[in-house]
Amino acid sequence: MSERQFETAEDQNSLEAHLATTAGPVEASLEAQPGLPEVLPTAKDAKASVLPNFFDFPLKDLEAVLTGLGKEKFRARQLFQWVYQKRTHDFDLMTNVSKTFRAELPGLLEFRLPKVVQELKSVDGTRKWLFDVGQGMTIETVLIPSKDRLTLCVSSEVGCNMACRFCYTGKQKMKRRLTAGEIVGQFVHAQDSLKKDGLRVTNIVFMGMGEPLDNPDEVFKSIKILHEADGLGFSRKKITVSTSGIVPLIPRVTEAGVRLAVSLNAPNDEIRNKVMPINKRWNTKALLEACRVHTEASKDMVTLEYVLLRDVTDRIEQARELYQLTKNIPCKINLIPFNEHPGTEFLRPHQEQVVKFQNEMIRLGAHVLLRKTMGRDIFAACGQLTSLYEGRPEKLMPTPSKSLTTKASAETTVSLS
Ligand code: SF4
């Protein structure tokens, strides 16, 4: 979910970012990024593929797909190992797979990942990928470095319908929910890219574009795929799902065995109703009770994100109110000074007020962290680069004489599609 926060807390937990803020003015950002490449919707994008996409399936589901096609169940495990562990793109190299099956594969499955439009690297180590998911739609994925972690912030939807008033993505209506394969694909691309530099993703947070619990089936399916021992083998405890507060679905986070983050962002219902419309459906009491139940069942603390909006949520009395509201929940609170973005009605808090707020929380005994902004030079606030890109329709419209000749096309050749 979330307003992606490309900020990092000042301790080891810093990167579970969520509530976003944004970098500088859009116009300035555009100037800073020469030559945004063209991405042309393809015929394949425009019509749904008739073949199942390998990347959409957890192992057991892939076994069922293959046996349904009359193939041996163990082929699914072989493919998982080749594709996810050995990252082989060439069927001919899958030496323990029979030649007959290899020859049949292109007619059985697609191996389709989102296409990388652009990869940006910040001077502070933050990286950002812009992906084309077809029909002119794009999503963003951000890598946030900290002392001992490289946390990948993945998107779950194109746009978002939650309409949190401080969120840049919330201003972009949801266009569609991502498939599990498109979520897994963000990780696969990032991991491949990092590998070239001898690095690897250590944590994954569902805090990019979209509300993950508005797309629960695909999100939890992607978690299964990421966790599969014969595939990527990513620990569930290194994955965090963040929600704006879809209370009835929080138990699914618990069942999935992953960590929970919640965008709280207000010390009471009155303010939360104003900044997060979802609070009118499930209020703070219901939300925090769901958090408490999660912490009991999971034996894990919940992360509460709290965006500091000047004169709206950053007053000292609100720090006290926030403490009272959350003191019985095993939690850590991430304070996120709001970064102004184009069109926002809110202001960034004064630094001295941020410090006072944090100190008051500490004095009261809260486990509270403060994030510092990262990746400002690469539009680290989720939704911002997408907005820039999609705001240039001439860059997205097909022109008959041109084919995909950009970095996007070059990089998609590494996928198995
Ligand atoms: S509008 Fe959507 S993406 Fe933005 S903070 Fe709210 S839930 Fe997250």
Residue-wise pLDDT for 231-267, tens only, equals 999 999 999 999 999 999 999 999 999 999 999 999 9
415: nearest Cα among 175, 115, 108: 115
Q: What is the mean pLDDT of residues 23-42?
A: 29
| Average pLDDT estimate for 198-216 | 97
Closest Cα to atom 6 of ligand 1 = 164
Higher pLDDT, 147 or 152: 152
Average pLDDT, the chain: 82
Name the band, by pLDDT with cuts 50, 70 and 90, for residue 169: confident
Average pLDDT over residues 109-114: 95
Within 248-398, strands assigned E span 259-263, 302-308, 331-337, 368-373
CB distance 170 to ligand 1 below 6 Å? yes
Active site annotation includes 317: no
Among 130-134, 284-288, 405-409, the minimum mean pLDDT is found in: 405-409
Residue 352 annotated as catalytic = no
Comparing 34-43, 205-214, 400-409, the range with the smallest average pLDDT is: 400-409
Q: Measured in angstroms, how far is the CA atom of residue 162 from the centroid of ligand 1?
A: 6
Both tokens of residue 326?
């959350």
Q: Which atom of ligand 1 is nearest to the CA of 163?
A: 1
- Contact 157 CB / ligand 1 (< 6 Å): no
What is the predicted pLDDT for the residue at 147? 86
If you search the block for the tokens 């530099």, which residue do you land on?
197
Q: Which atom of ligand 1 is nearest to the CA of 160?
A: 2
> Whole-angstrom Cα distance, residue 141 to residue 347?
25
**Closest Cα to atom 1, ligand 1: which residue?**
170
What confidence score (pLDDT) does residue 416 get? 23
For residue 20, which atom of ligand 1 is closest to its CA? 5
Between 199 and 50, the higher pLDDT residue? 199
Q: Are 130 and 140 in contact (CB under 8 A)?
A: yes
Lowest mean pLDDT of 40-54, 145-159, 289-303, name the range: 40-54
Q: Is 162 in the pocket of ligand 1 (CB under 6 A)?
A: yes
Q: Please tell me the distance between residue 203's alpha carbon and the centre of ligand 1 in angstroms.
A: 20
Closest residue by Cα to residue 335 from 312, 360, 304? 304
Q: Is the CB of 384 under 6 A from ligand 1?
A: no
**Ligand 1 center to residue 169 CA distance, Å?**
6
Total Cβ atoms within 10 A of residue 316: 13
At residue 375, the pLDDT reads: 63
What is the percentage of the chain residues whose pLDDT exceeds 70? 77
- Establish whether residue 211 lines the binding site of ligand 1, counting it when its CB lies within 6 angstroms of any ligand atom: yes
Query: Ligand 1, residues 140, 157, 162, 247: which to mutate, most atoms within 8 A of Cβ?
Result: 162
Backbone φ and ψ of 338, nearest 5°: -65, 135
Q: How far is CA 5 from CA 11, 169, 182, 356, in A?
A: 16, 11, 21, 21
Whether residue 11 has pLDDT greater than 90: no
Residues 91, 105 contacting (CB under 8 angstroms)? yes
Rounded average pLDDT over 117-139 = 93
Using the atom order of ligand 1, give the atom closest to the CA of residue 383.
Answer: 3
Residue length of the chain: 417
Distance 160 CA to ligand 1 centre (A): 6
**What is the structure's pLDDT at 170?**
85
Output the CA 233–ligand 1 centroid distance in Å: 29
Phi, psi of 350 (to 5 degrees): -70, 145
Per-residue model confidence (pLDDT) at position 235: 97
Q: pLDDT tens, 339-391?
A: 888 889 999 999 999 999 999 999 999 999 998 766 666 555 555 556 555 55
Note the CATH architecture for domain 50-111.
Answer: Orthogonal Bundle (1.10)
Flag the least confident range among 8-12, 330-334, 411-415.
411-415
2 lines ligand 1 (CB under 6 A): yes
Asked if pLDDT for residue 394 goes beyond 70, the answer is no
Task: Tell whether ligand 1 has an atom less than 6 A from the beta carbon of residue 1.
Answer: yes
Instruction: Please report the pLDDT score of residue 209 as a whole number.
Output: 94
Q: What number does the ligand 1 atom closest to the CA of 167 have?
A: 4
pLDDT tops 50 at residue 101: yes
Residue with the smallest CA separation from ligand 1 atom 3 is: 2
Provide the pLDDT for residue 338.
93
* pLDDT per residue as tens digits for the range 51-100: 999 999 999 999 999 999 999 999 999 999 999 999 987 888 999 999 99
Predicted local distance difference test score (pLDDT) of residue 139: 95
The domain spans of the chain are 7-43+113-396, 50-111
Does ligand 1 have an atom closer than 6 angstroms to the CB of 225?
no
According to the model, what pLDDT value does residue 385 have?
A: 56
Predicted local distance difference test score (pLDDT) of residue 361 = 98
Residue 41 pLDDT: 35
Of these residues, 140, 211, 228, 360, which one is catalytic? 140
Identify the pLDDT of residue 14. 31
pLDDT at residue number 276: 97
Higher per-residue confidence, 215 vs 125: 215
Residue of 16, 360, 382, 390 marked active site = 382
Atom of ligand 1 nearest to the CA of 244: 7
Helices 316-326 and 351-364 cross at an angle (nearest 10°) of 40
* Cβ of 278 less than 6 Å from ligand 1: no
Give yes or no for residue 111 having a pLDDT over 90. Answer: yes
Topology of the domain covering 7-43+113-396: TIM Barrel (3.20.20)
pLDDT of residue 15: 29
Verify whether ligand 1 is closer than 6 Å to residue 284 (CB atom): no
244 lines ligand 1 (CB under 6 A): yes
